[in-house]
Amino acid sequence: MIEDFRNNIFSVVTDYINTLYENPIRLITLIIDIAIVVFLAYKMIKIVKKTRAWQLFKGIVFLILFTWISEKCQLNILHYILNAIVSWGVLALIVIFQPEIRRVLEQLGTNKFTRFFGMDKDIEAKTREDVYKIVIAATEMSKQKIGALIVIERDIEIKDIINTGIIMDAEVSPQLITNIFTPKTPLHDGAIVISNNKIAAAACMLPLASDNDIAKELGTRHRAGIGISKESDAIAVIVSEETGKISVAKDGTLIADVREDVLKKILISNIVTKRFGDTKKRPPLPTLKNKKIENNEVINNKEK
């Protein structure tokens, strides 16, 4: 397999060289071709580095290198075994990397046209405001030790998760979020999903991360938050019912015990900035700083 791959690469390079002699203009095509391959390789490595697949990826590179060395050193028996492993390894990789492969394909299918044509300024302002409302709700529930699990959808749609809960399609509101998670209310179990600047559903069921991925002292909410952040690019905000501490699950990792200002920075950088670009280069947007929520309206916290 490695020999065939090497021959194919050599054949492609030879064809390119022969073509350049016949038509020098094809040099531009060659440069573009190489640039695209390098860019795709860079993006793939960048995506893989954020997942558990990175350690497996390094092991695969080592296996291929060792197979090549065994061939050069004429270690025939070892080379035969390693070559067989590499040959059948393609099927194994599809199984091992199934979540990562699905995630990459889903990201390739996301729609970025509104960002390209500058049609997202109003959505950016609404998204930023919703982030502040989520922070306010999480902070308030943390003070009262109300357990909560808030999932914020990003590029990858999680309609299958939304369909497991009670559809709401409600505006994001600190009061509504707090009321949903208040103990003994009908919807307090499960997670709420915020999608397209709306509370899409409540009491949603999330996939649980395995025991190996989470500390034993953390409960089901944290395991569910990590689970959904592995299955998609969603971000989960978790409030512990026992301690009142706020955690954030992102890309399969848990950022534990974050303060209000840190939570705000994490959500702004991963939801607003990544979606709409560098907000420092844009005019300042209205925020909820030094404001409070009363009767579902935002009012200045000043004497009138």
pLDDT of 86: 72
Q: Which residue has the higher pLDDT, 210 or 53?
A: 210
Q: Which of 122-126, 164-168, 169-173, 235-239 has the lowest mean pLDDT?
A: 122-126
What is the average per-residue pLDDT within 269-273?
88
Cβ–Cβ contacts within 10 Å for residue 267, how many?
24
Output the average pLDDT for the chain. 77
Tell me: pLDDT of 41 over 90. Answer: no
pLDDT value at residue 97:
65
pTM across the whole model: 0.58
For residue 290, what pLDDT band results from cuts at 50, 70 and 90? very low
Taking residues 87-106, report their average pLDDT: 66
Q: What is the mean pLDDT of residues 171-191?
A: 93
**In order of start, what are the domains of the chain with their CATH numbers?**
2-108 (no CATH), 119-296 (3.40.1700.10)
**pLDDT score for 53:** 60
Task: Give the chain's length.
Answer: 304
What confidence tier does 133 reach under pLDDT thresholds 50, 70, 90? very high
Average pLDDT over residues 69-97: 76
Q: What average pLDDT does range 53-65 have in this prediction?
A: 73
